[in-house]
Amino acid sequence: MRVCVIGAGAIGGVIAAWLARAGHQVKVVARGDHLAALQTRGLQLEDRIAGSDFTVRVDARNSAAGLGHQDLVVLGVKGPAMAEVLPQIGPLLGNDTMVLPAINGVPWWYFLKEGGQFDGQPIKALDPGGHLLTLIPAQHLVGCVVHVAGEMMAPGVIAQTAHRKLIIGDVQRGTSKRLEALGLALNQAGFEAVVSADIRRDLWVKLIGNLAFNPLAALTGMRMDEMLAQPGLVALARRLIEESNQVARALGVETGIDTETRITMARTIGRARLSTLQDFEKGRRPELEGLLGSVIELAARVHQPVPTIEHVAALTYARARALGLIT
């Protein structure tokens, strides 16, 4: 495949590395010291799952301009960067190009071809003017739930710390030959790829875990295993999970996973430093709108009280403002 990865950080870098190693034509759009390292030394992946490292050469650039049509465009940037990135990728799109946003939280496209009472409506916390919904036609979009833990260790160096699972699905629901082909390519590259007929359900399964633990990690500075050793934090996470499940259910989504099972799933992540904690520590803007603001907005739409989510969100936004990460 001709692949362009925009934003080769922790997750985008992992995807780029494995696809390049499998022989695909991978181009990477990056900036600053990371770009310079990719151009001079290549992309180094520390695979802490299997205990092996490897380096691949990728065509690294500071812009997607002039790259031509791609078979796959992976958006590895954070949700808040979509307003800057999406207007730039039009020239990459051929008739059959797939666009894979590898982001956490509620995606801007959630109600695109969703079919429910809010079909086609933007989520104001993510897309205040509804502009993002107009930039990528639904036929190009492939929903993605990322069950991969990674961390950028240095410019050009990415550590993959847990899991290799990518769930992909058509935003219009159902499956297709192109999704099956993409799933096969991802599996052959070393991922555990699953093609889902209902990607929104899978999004909620991941989102509920992120919402329950990522803000708490950012507020406490703890790894996942450290948080799970604190009974008070586990009790708080339970309330966050329960409220999130109620919002999903009000939107017609049944995750099929109860609270205790979700806590057990979190324990498999081990010593991972969650992405929001990494953002806080490294001075990057965190994905609070996708994890918290959007869920609070959706809860209001379906008249579902979420007091615990609102309280944790207030603390997390306040901490991010105090650190100068958001305004």
Active-site annotation, residues: 206
Token pair of 206 as six digits: 């991941």
- What residues does 162 pair with on adjacent strands? 149
Q: Rounded to whole angstroms, how far apart are CA atoms 119 and 16?
A: 33
CB contact at 8 A, 179 and 170: yes
Helix (H) or strand (E) holding 25: strand 25-29
- What residues does 6 pair with on adjacent strands? 29, 75
Indicate the DSSP class of residue 136: S
Residue with tokens 């049509």: 69
Q: How are strands ordered across the β-sheet holding 25-29?
A: 59-61, 25-29, 2-6, 70-75, 93-101
Helix (H) or strand (E) holding 179: helix 177-188
Give how far the C-alpha of residue 118 lies from the chain's centroid of Cα atoms, to the nearest Å.
23
Nearest to 262 by CA among 284, 276, 244: 244
